[in-house]
Each structure stands twice: as structure tokens, then as C-alpha cells.
């Protein structure tokens, strides 16, 4: 576009020449640019995804997101999504425990089935607070090792009492001492679980972080 007075080349659609100040006749082909609306929360919003959780979810929506994100260890989850899913899993496990008399081992099957998605949603809950999700994995490993060790000590203690284990290996008093040690170390996984619960109760970051956008719109 050329200025009609000084013949200076000016940007297309400019109303005034930046050199001489002459008002220009803006052709209809160059309408005045419309400024874009200000982005919400100070950043551009990406397109919605079914794997993104909204700000507040109900019980049914939280269960849906729990299973849709079965192995999602990358994005973020809000408090409502996490705690409604926690309530759902707890209720199912209680029902399975009550049905153990009819179907032996049902509670263990439920625990294995819910282990991976529960670990994944805990990962995402930590991500929502800006923390790495490796802590829930470490806590699960520690709790699992403690459970195996404690179960082994209890079984060996019972076998020592009934005489199935030779006292030359470890006496009953020795197994009893190991049982007390295993009971004392339960405060380690308990403390890790309490810390995890505290973090999952915290509000998430109200801005995007390295784990994804803020899932609150």
C-alpha cells in the first residue's frame, strides 16, 4: 500500500501515513483488524480432551475419569476426582471383603485390579500440586515389602509354635522378637501413607505446570 501524498510504502490497512501523517483511504479489502479476546487465566486454552478432568466432578464423572485414565501417569487430576475415586474403590473393597466367605480371595483380586489405576490417579494428583509422582510409587514399594516381610515373620512364628520349624534355625523367642520388630517398622509405611494423604488434600496449582494445563474450566 502506497501513501497517496508522499508515495511512502505503508502497511496494508493503515489509516495514516507514518511519514507525512496523511489520512489514507483504506480499501474495503483491508478491514480494520479485530484484536483477539484476552485469554482466560492469562494463557491460551488448548482444546478440551476427554482425559482432562474439569474443576469439579461428581461421583459418576470421577469414576469415569478413573477408568478412562487407567494407566495415565502424565497429566493432572483435581481433588474431587481423586477423592470420589478413592471413595468408590474403598466401597468396592469393603464389599469384596464381606464376600470373601462366599468367594475366597475376592478382596485380593480387587486389590490387584485397582492397584494400577489408583497409583495412576495418585500420580496425577501429585502432578496437580506441582510435585513429582514418584513418591506414590516409592510408598507402594515400601508398603509392599513391609507387608511381605511381616506376613513371612507371622507365618514362621506360627510354624515355630506348632513345631514345624526346627528350633536350631531360630527359636520361638527369636521369631517373637522379629515379630515385634516388624510391628515396630509399620510406622514407616504408615508415615508415608499419611504424607500422601496430606498432599492429596492440597489444592492444585492454578496455572499450567510441566505436567499439563490447569484442569479447571
Summarize pLDDT for 13-32 with one digit per residue, the tens.
777 766 666 777 766 555 55
Give the relative orientation of helices 59-68 and 79-98 as an angle to the nearest 10 degrees: 90
Q: How many residues does the chain have?
A: 217
The pLDDT confidence band at residue 102, using thresholds 50, 70 and 90, is confident
Q: Is the pLDDT of residue 48 over 50?
A: no
Q: Quickly count: other Cβ atoms within 10 Å of residue 210's Cβ.
A: 7
What global pTM score does this model have?
0.66
Average pLDDT, the chain: 80
**pLDDT for residue 100:** 86
CA–CA separation, 179 and 137 (whole Å):
26
Supply the angle between the helices 59-68 and 106-128 in degrees, to the nearest 10: 90
Section 157-177 average pLDDT: 69
CA distance 152 to 78: 38
Quick one: three-class SS letters along the chain?
A: CECCCCCCECCCCCCECCCCCCECCCCCCCCCCCCCCCCHHHCCCCCCCCCCCCCCCCHHHHHHHHHHCCCCCCCCCCHHHHHHHHHHHHHHHHHHHHHHHCCCCHHHHHHHHHHHHHHHHHHHHHHHCCCCCHHHHHHHHHHHHHHHHHHHHHHHHHHHHCCCCCCCCCCHHHHHHHHHHHHHCCHHHHHHHHHHHHHHHCCCCCCCECCECCCCC
pLDDT-derived band of residue 206, with 50, 70 and 90 as boundaries? confident
**Strand partners of residue 23:** 16
Exposure string of 131-146, with b = 16+ CB inside 10 Å and e = fewer, is bebebbeebbebbeeb
Amino acid at each position: 500500500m502506497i501513501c497517496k501524498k508522499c508515495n511512502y510504502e505503508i502497511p496494508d490497512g493503515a489509516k495514516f501515513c507514518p511519514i507525512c501523517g496523511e489520512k489514507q483511504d483504506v480499501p474495503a479489502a483491508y478491514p480494520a483488524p479485530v484484536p483477539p479476546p484476552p485469554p482466560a487465566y492469562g494463557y491460551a486454552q488448548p482444546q478440551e480432551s476427554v482425559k482432562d478432568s474439569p474443576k469439579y466432578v461428581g461421583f459418576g464423572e470421577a469414576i469415569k475419569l478413573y477408568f478412562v485414565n487407567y494407566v495415565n501417569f502424565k497429566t493432572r487430576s483435581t481433588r474431587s476426582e481423586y477423592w470420589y475415586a478413592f471413595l468408590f474403590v474403598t466401597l468396592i473393597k469393603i464389599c469384596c471383603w464381606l464376600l470373601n466367605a462366599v468367594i475366597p480371595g475376592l478382596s485380593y483380586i480387587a486389590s490387584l485390579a485397582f492397584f494400577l489405576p489408583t497409583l495412576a490417579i495418585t500420580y496425577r494428583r501429585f502432578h496437580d500440586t506441582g510435585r513429582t509422582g514418584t513418591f506414590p510409587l516409592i510408598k507402594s514399594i515400601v508398603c509392599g515389602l513391609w507387608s511381605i516381610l511381616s506376613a513371612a515373620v507371622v507365618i514362621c512364628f506360627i510354624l515355630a509354635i506348632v513345631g514345624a520349624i526346627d528350633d536350631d534355625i531360630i527359636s520361638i523367642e527369636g521369631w517373637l522378637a522379629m515379630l515385634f520388630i516388624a510391628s515396630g517398622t509399620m510406622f514407616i509405611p504408615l508415615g508415608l501413607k499419611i504424607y500422601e494423604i496430606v498432599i492429596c488434600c492440597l489444592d492444585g496449582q492454578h496455572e499450567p505446570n510441566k505436567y499439563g494445563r490447569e484442569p479447571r474450566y
